[in-house]
Amino acid sequence: MRTALVPTMGALHNGHLRLVEMGLRTADRVVTTIFVNPQQFAPGEDLDAYPRTEKSDVEKLRAAGVHLIFAPPLLEMYQEGFCTSVSTAGPAKAGLEDKSRPHFFEGVTTVVAKLFIAAGCDYAMFGEKDFQQLKVVTKMARDLSIPTSVIGVPTVRADDGLALASRNAYLSEEQRSIAPMLHQTLQHLATDIRNGKNMTRACSAAKKTLKQNGFKTDYVEIRVAETLEPVKSVPEAELRILAAAWLGKTRLIDNIAV
């Protein structure tokens, strides 16, 4: 009997449900976890405001055919005196999400390692939407010899291209109408790169477009997809464009293949 784990922070949308669907195709049993992990939020981030919709989450997961839901209270994950964490490097220090959220991946890998070990799962489904996280978690499982295969699932988008995300709930109506520009800008950038444009100049142009449309950009980067290292010479490797930008008080992230 093979088991797939789908770790989430709840506030479930069709992106999460796609992970469940892929889990059901990959394994005989799917376990979904719902846990808003305080360790991956820095002081001043949105831990308290993070949307919590546990009742409807459970209904959605039941309808999707999940076999087990694990939604532990805080103390079950972090008993008093908890003081151990996973230390990460490599893709976790790529200078992308980690640049503005320096403790994020330590928090993520610690809770994910605990969940992998507790669940003893054969597979774990992670979204490409959080591309750096997918790479970090894959490496963590391999490096720590945890026998769980991490499987990446392509990003689920709204019809207008916006990547589905629990934090999209923070967007005002006006911001929601601007938000798909992030994906569109990355698509233009990918086309430019495929057409042989200079990467630095093309990234600067993308940032300018985002700024003109009201985004405050954290980063727009082109990286080697597998390792997230910067692209040094003319690449044989597959490339990935990754971006993060603020729209008002909402931080959006997205990425696409070149």
Q: Residue 150 and residue 64: Cα distance in Å, rounded? A: 21
Is 67 designated active site?
no
Q: Minimum CB separation from ligand AMP for residue 154, in Å?
A: 7
Q: Report, in Å, the least distance between residue 8 CB and ligand AMP.
A: 4
Q: Is 9 in the site for ligand AMP (CB under 6 A)?
A: yes
Q: Kindly report the CA angle at 218 between 215 and 219, in degrees rounded to 5?
A: 110
Backbone angles phi, psi at 256, to 5 degrees: -145, 160
The only residue of 97, 98, 106, 130 in contact with ligand AMP, by rule CB under 6 A: 130
How many CA atoms are closer than 13 Å to the CA of 57, on its beta-carbon side?
21
Q: Count the site residues for ligand AMP by CB under 6 A.
A: 17
> Applying CB under 6 A, does 114 fall inside the site for ligand AMP?
no
Query: Taking a C-beta distance cutoff of 8 angstroms, is the pair 258, 222 a contact?
Result: yes
Q: Does 165 bind ligand AMP (CB under 6 A)?
A: yes
How far is it, in rounded angstroms, from Cα 106 to Cα 1?
A: 31
**142 vs 98, 112, 120, 184, CA distance in Å?**
20, 13, 14, 34
One residue of 4, 5, 17, 19 binding ligand AMP per CB under 6 A: 19
Q: Is the dihedral of CA 156, 35, 147, 25 positive or negative?
A: negative
CA angle 65, 70, 74 (to 5 degrees): 155
- Interface map 29-68 toward ligand AMP (x if CB under 6 A): ----------------------------------------
Could you tell me which of 54, 50, 104 has the C-alpha nearest to residue 250? 50
Name the residue nearer to ligand AMP (CB basis): 25 or 211.
Answer: 25
* Residue of closest CB approach to ligand AMP: 127
Per-residue contact string for residues 145-164; x = within reach of ligand AMP by CB under 6 A = --------x-xx------xx
Which of residues 60, 101, 114, 129 is near ligand AMP by CB under 6 A?
A: 129
Q: Which stretch binds ligand AMP (CB under 6 A): 14-22, 82-90, 94-102, 140-148?
A: 14-22
Nearer to ligand AMP, 107 or 218 (CB): 107
Helix axis angle, 14-26 to 54-64, nearest 10°: 40
Write down the catalytic residue from 16, 67, 103, 188. 16
Residues that bind ligand AMP (CB under 6 A): 8-9, 15-16, 18-19, 126-127, 129-130, 153, 155-156, 163-166
For the annotated catalytic residues, the residue numbers are 16
